[in-house]
Amino acid sequence: MTRPGDKDVEVHLFGPGYGESVLVHLGFNEWLIVDSCVARGSRVAAPTAYLESIGIDPSTAVKVIVASHWHDDHVRGLSEVVRKCKSAEFWCSSALLEREFLVLMTAVTKRPMTRAGSGVDEFRDVIEELRARAAGQRVAGIGLHFAESDKLIWQRQTPADHVAVVHSLSPSDAERLLSMQAIAGLVKGLSERRPQGRIPPIRPNNTAVALHVRIGGARLLLGADLEEIGKPPWRDCGWTAVVASPRRPSAKSTLFKVAHHGSETAHCEPVWTDMLESKPLAILTPFKNGSVSLPTEADAMRLRERAGDVFMTTRHATRRAKPANPVVAREFGLTARAVWQAAAMGHVRASIPEGEARTEWRVATLNGATRL
């Protein structure tokens, strides 16, 4: 692994381990990080660890951090990313800094002795990092911003042949309202004398921040976990709203970080026809949570039909757990029907070296990454 040249375009996708993260070289050693993940048996955030491994200082090189949403499978290590990338702006849905979410976050993280987090805990640590930045500074200095549909969030206008522009495509106004309603519902639940427990994820995910990135002639669509419902009350939400927006960047992308691990719930046919070039490169991470395992075989088939090539960071999100202690291993088998642990974190690197045709991606599959 070596650091890219000034005009080399690189997109790195890490996952699972725990989480998913995209790292993009915007050119001239300026970087974008979307979400975070950590390797199995590690608490080190993958995107910053990778930058450090190739001799890049994240504190100056990373310009933008985007928290696409607060679910546990996208934010592990994000507070470390925010802490290390001192000069980066931090972007997330405004719903995550509304009073209701902060009440929920504070109430939940004050509970005693609950170790199994829900993503709220990691986001609490992110907020603490931002508060530390804010201490003694003017508000404008802490670099906290809200992503929403059709919003320019970062750009570099020079040199003219290698401009870099990052737009957020979501959440829409309707999604922000719905997510605030959902969060308020969770807070209301706290005061209804229910026994304490883990905060469930909000479905559908109305806080997801999808991005369109242009770097020189390369265009990327980073889908986060943005879902597609397409029926009331979600008509103005999800991919339907993104595709329909007249203000979004119109240029089609040649690389798609597939939304929501390839799930049917995130599939929207017009995305493939209106926002992506024919047969784009598709990259994704797998996901497993209880009985839900993504992508399914049907999802994989659908992606193969539409993409020119599809790469995944690891074939499966989990594998059977193998405890070192044989007694524990035997009891796992006797007490549980199945026990899984996260698969090792894989790494897909897609790149366009300087001077090459701008739609030809070179793909490297690292640490167990594979073609789907």
**328 sits near another protein (criterion: CB under 8 A):** yes
DSSP of 274-307 = IIEEEEEEEEE--EEETTEEES-HHHHHHHHHHS
Provide the terminal-to-terminal Cα distance of the chain, rounded to the nearest Å: 23
Work out whether 136 is an interface residue with another protein (CB under 8 A). Answer: no
Number of residues that bind another protein (CB under 8 A): 59
Q: Is 184 in the site for another protein (CB under 8 A)?
A: no
CB 224 within 8 A of CB 258: no
Minimum separation from the CB atom of position 296 to another protein (A): 17
- Taking CB under 8 A as the criterion, the residue among 135, 161, 355, 357 binding another protein is 135
67-96 residues near another protein, rule: CB under 8 A: none
Other beta carbons less than 10 A from residue 166's beta carbon: 27
Select from 55, 157, 194, 357 the one that contacts another protein (CB under 8 A): 194
- Contacting residue, 157, 160, 161, 200, with another protein by CB under 8 A: 200
Least separation in angstroms between residue 200's CB and another protein is 6
Shorter beta-carbon distance to another protein: residue 99 or 279: 99
Binding mask 17-56 for another protein (x = CB under 8 A): -x---------------------xx---------------
309-312 and 370-371 beta bridge pairing:
antiparallel
Nearest CA to 148 out of 179, 171, 124, 175 is that of 171
> What is the rounded distance in angstroms from the CA atom of residue 287 to the CA atom of residue 325?
27
How does DSSP classify residue 36?
B
* Binders in 337-356 for another protein, by CB under 8 A: 337-342
Question: Rounded to 5 degrees, what are φ and ψ at 9?
Answer: -95, 130
CB 371 within 8 A of CB 310: yes
Q: Is 328 helix (H, G, I), strand (E, B) or coil?
A: helix
Cα gap 40→52, rounded to integer Å: 19
Binding window for another protein (CB under 8 A); candidates: 61-69, 185-193, 238-246, 297-305? 185-193
Q: Can residue 197 be called a binding residue for another protein (CB under 8 A)?
A: yes
The bridge status of strand 309-312 relative to strand 362-366 is unpaired
Confirm or reject binding of residue 327 to another protein (CB under 8 A).
Answer: yes
Taking CB under 8 A as the rule, does residue 185 contact another protein?
Answer: no
Stretch that binds another protein, among 47-55, 115-123, 153-161, 203-211 (CB under 8 A): 115-123
- Please list, in sequence order, all residues whose beta carbon lies within 8 angstroms of the beta carbon of residue 330, skipping any fewer than 6 positions away: none
For residues 282 and 303, the answer to whether their CB atoms sit within 8 Å is yes
Question: What part of residues 211-240 is at the interface with another protein (CB under 8 A)?
Answer: none
Select from 5, 29, 134, 270 the one that contacts another protein (CB under 8 A). 134
Cβ 142 to another protein shortest distance, Å:
7
Asked if residue 190 binds another protein (CB under 8 A), the reply is: yes
Rounded to 10 degrees, the C-alpha dihedral 142/211/27/16 comes to: 90
- The distance of closest approach from Cβ of residue 267 to another protein in the complex, given in angstroms and rounded to an integer, is 22
Residue 65, classed as helix, strand or coil, is strand
Residues binding another protein (CB under 8 A): 18, 40-41, 97, 99, 102-107, 110-111, 113-116, 118, 127, 130-131, 134-135, 139, 142, 144, 187, 190-200, 288-291, 318, 321, 323, 325, 327-328, 331-332, 334-342
